[in-house]
Amino acid sequence: MKFTTVFVATLFSAALALPRYIPRDSSFLKQNGEAAIALNNQFKSLTVNSSCTAGENACVNGEFAQCVNGAFVLTSCGTGEVCAALPLVNSEGTSITCATQAQVNSRIAATGATSASNATSSASPSNATSAPPCMSTLASASAVAIAPSSTAAASTANASDAQSSFTLLSSLVQTGFSQNGTEDSSPEPGEIASVTSTNNFINFCATVNLPLTNGTQVASGSCNPAPMGVMPNVNNTPTAKFVYPANLDTVKANTTFTVVLAIDHLDTGFFVNPATNYFAAPQMVNETTGNVMGHSHVVIERLTALNQTTPTNPTKFSFFKGLNDVAVNGTLSTVVTGGVPAGVYRLASINAAANHQPILASVAQHGAIDDMVYFMAE
Ligand SMILES: *[C@@H]1O[C@H](CO)[C@@H](O)[C@H](O)[C@H]1NC(C)=O
Ligand SMILES: *[C@@H]1O[C@H](CO)[C@@H](O)[C@H](O)[C@H]1NC(C)=O
Ligand SMILES: *[C@@H]1O[C@H](CO)[C@@H](O)[C@H](O)[C@H]1NC(C)=O
Ligand SMILES: *[C@@H]1O[C@H](CO)[C@@H](O)[C@H](O)[C@H]1NC(C)=O
Ligand SMILES: *[C@@H]1O[C@H](CO)[C@@H](O)[C@H](O)[C@H]1NC(C)=O
Ligand SMILES: *[C@@H]1O[C@H](CO)[C@@H](O)[C@H](O)[C@H]1NC(C)=O
Ligand SMILES: *[C@@H]1O[C@H](CO)[C@@H](O)[C@H](O)[C@H]1NC(C)=O
Ligand SMILES: *[C@@H]1O[C@H](CO)[C@@H](O)[C@H](O)[C@H]1NC(C)=O
Ligand SMILES: *[C@@H]1O[C@H](CO)[C@@H](O)[C@H](O)[C@H]1NC(C)=O
Ligand SMILES: *[C@@H]1O[C@H](CO)[C@@H](O)[C@H](O)[C@H]1NC(C)=O
């Protein structure tokens, strides 16, 4: 699926400055320009055989270079593009990205910089400038860049290029994300300022000390840079109800039974490899039906009593099954072979998009997307 390539691209950028507010003062612009010139000069001396430090990004022979196990791995830029260091526009520093030579030139020229900065004196505003090629500090100021809005990169890039490009299209920058929300004159009591970003949080995971999710189920926790994807129309919010066992039904203990889940507004039968593609692509919607493309799961947990009031332990359950088939007559079903021992149980659906992420709805206020019923086995 084409959409995935752009996320893979974000995984490569191992380190980046934290999301920053747009500063009022832009005195760093010229320094950024000089730093970019210095970096581009340094890149000229690099070859594919240059040693490097893990996580470092650079440009080698006009290609985007990432350091893996002490050696550069090169990725070609798009047709007509070269890899280059560009001055950041909204904050101190530089980014390493693919762009046309004209974009590189105009972005640097716009800063007023005409020569490389003095490596020593420019060390303070940007780590990148002080770093000779192949030092780890180079990576700390390197980033996959936002396409410079002044150069209309967004309108020149076409969709197929965009899905393999390391550059965020300027048309996709969510400028709303740069507001922290407290500008609202009548906030709810206790409402806090949001974390903000001017680059769609594309490098957010560099701010936490966690492994990347990378398509796997990391039980100890991870950070996942994949976008959330398509939000369905509110009228396509999925909904479900258990047909069997229905709420407060009794099933025969230790006897096979079939769970039946009626489901509406979920296009079922879409599930990806959970071991390699977990949360690895955005939520998708079928353009014809308007429904999220996904699948469901059911989980049965044993309770101490019907009126149990203590939360359950989500790592312990009696039965779990993905419902991967296409719904028949509006229902999904699965056989609970051997049934469950005598007792009281809670049965829940876990509706999911194709890559197993929970369903996202277009509005906050909506009825439950999942169903939960209680049943006895005796
Ligand atoms: C890189 O190293 C390989 C193997 O030692 C060699 O064949 C190649 O010519 C080198 N390339 C450059 C650009 O130095
Ligand atoms: C660069 O910095 C060094 C050390 O601060 C200084 O000696 C040198 O004159 C500077 N060169 C230029 C061109 O500014
Ligand atoms: C440079 O990088 C170091 C280590 O990552 C960091 O502590 C320092 O604050 C950075 N300096 C600037 C000016 O960003
Ligand atoms: C879009 O990019 C693809 C791949 O580089 C290319 O084949 C195609 O011709 C481009 N289309 C336009 C309209 O530029
Ligand atoms: C939120 O943004 C406003 C306006 O930019 C700013 O004044 C305020 O300090 C910010 N609050 C926090 C907690 O960052
Ligand atoms: C991500 O997954 C790919 C494919 O399984 C693997 O080759 C790569 O090493 C993983 N990268 C990280 C950072 O875990
Ligand atoms: C989208 O839904 C329509 C109507 O049910 C169906 O014909 C089409 O195959 C679906 N598309 C995909 C990609 O599943
Ligand atoms: C649950 O119900 C039982 C009797 O059916 C009662 O003894 C017990 O106190 C109830 N527990 C709670 C937490 O309400
Ligand atoms: C589909 O559901 C309807 C109403 O629940 C039922 O009457 C009908 O027999 C079902 N058809 C199949 C093929 O299960
Ligand atoms: C159900 O099976 C369990 C063992 O899995 C057993 O301990 C229990 O007595 C059985 N209960 C009934 C009602 O058959």
Per-residue pLDDT, 188: 82
| The two structure tokens encoding residue 13 | 């950028």
Res 217 pLDDT > 80: yes
Please give the average per-residue pLDDT across 134-154, as a whole number: 34
**Which pLDDT score, from 0 to 100, does residue 331 have?**
97
Q: Which of 303, 304, 306, 307 to mutate to test the pocket of ligand 8 (most atoms within 8 A of CB)?
A: 307
For 315-348, the DSSP string reads T--SEEEEE-SPPBTTEEEEEETT---SEEEEEE
Q: What is the pLDDT of residues 10-46, one digit of tens each?
A: 333 333 333 334 344 667 889 999 999 999 999 999 9
pTM for the structure as a whole: 0.62
State the Cα–Cα distance between residues 352 and 358, nearest whole angstrom: 5
Q: Which of 182, 183, 192, 195 to mutate to test the pocket of ligand 5 (most atoms within 8 A of CB)?
A: 182
Closest to 147 in 3D by CA, of 129, 177, 173, 128: 173
200, 211, 203, 208: which is closest to 176 by C-alpha?
200
**Given pLDDT bands bounded at 50, 70 and 90, which one contains residue 277?**
very high
Average pLDDT over residues 123-129: 32
Residues of the chain with pLDDT > 70: what percent?
81
At 147, the pLDDT band (50, 70, 90 cuts) reads: very low
* Res 350 pLDDT > 60: yes
What is the C-alpha to C-alpha distance for residues 37 and 74, in angstroms, rounded to an integer? 21
Return the domain boundaries, the chain: 9-171, 234-377
User: Ligand 10 centre from 303 Cα, in Å?
Assistant: 16
Q: Are 286 and 267 in contact (CB under 8 A)?
A: yes
Q: What is the pLDDT of the chain when averaged over all its residues?
A: 83
pLDDT level of residue 50 (50, 70, 90 thresholds) = very high
pLDDT at 118: 59
30 or 150, higher pLDDT: 30
> In the prediction, which pLDDT does 364 show?
94
pLDDT surpassing 90 at residue 55: no
* pLDDT confidence band for 373 (50 / 70 / 90): very high
Ligand 1 pocket check for 48: Cβ under 6 Å? yes
Count Cβ atoms below 10 Å from residue 281 Cβ, excluding itself. Answer: 20
Residue 218, pLDDT above cutoff 80 = yes
pLDDT tens for each residue of 110-121: 999 988 875 433
In this prediction, residues 142-155 reach a mean pLDDT of 37
Report pLDDT for 204.
93
Q: Among 2.40.10.220, 3.30.70.270, 1.10.540.10, 2.60.40.10, name the CATH number for the domain at 234-377.
A: 2.60.40.10
Ligand 8 pocket residues where CB is under 6 Å: 305, 307, 309
Helix axes 101-109, 28-43, angle to 10 degrees: 140
Here the tokens at position 364 are: 């906050």
Q: Three-state secondary structure along 228-247?
A: CECCCCHHHCCEEEEEECCC
Compute φ and ψ for 212, nearest 5 degrees. -70, 145
pLDDT of residue 139 exceeding 60: no
pLDDT the model gives residue 153: 34
- Residue 20 has what pLDDT? 38
Task: Give the number of whichever ligand sits closest to the CA of residue 330.
Answer: 9
Question: Sorting pLDDT into bands at 50, 70 and 90, what band is 187?
Answer: confident
pLDDT for the residue 160:
59
Residue nearest to atom 6 of ligand 8 (CA): 307
Q: Mind giving me the DSSP string for 145-190? A: PBPPGGGTHHHHS-HHHHTT-SSBPGGG--GGGG--STTSSSPPTT
Burial of 88 per CB tally in 10 Å (0-12, 13-18, 19+): buried
Residue 144 pLDDT class (50, 70, 90 cuts): very low
pLDDT-derived band at 72 (thresholds 50, 70, 90) equals: confident
- Give the pLDDT confidence score for residue 150 in this predicted structure: 35
27: CA distance to ligand 9 center in Å? 70
Q: Which ligand is nearest to the CA of 159?
A: 4
Q: Identify residue 319 by its one-letter amino acid code.
A: F
**pLDDT tens digit string along 282-309?**
999 999 999 999 999 999 999 999 999 9
Buried b (16+ CB within 10 A) or exposed e, 345-371: bbbbbbbbbbbbbebbbeeeeeeebbb
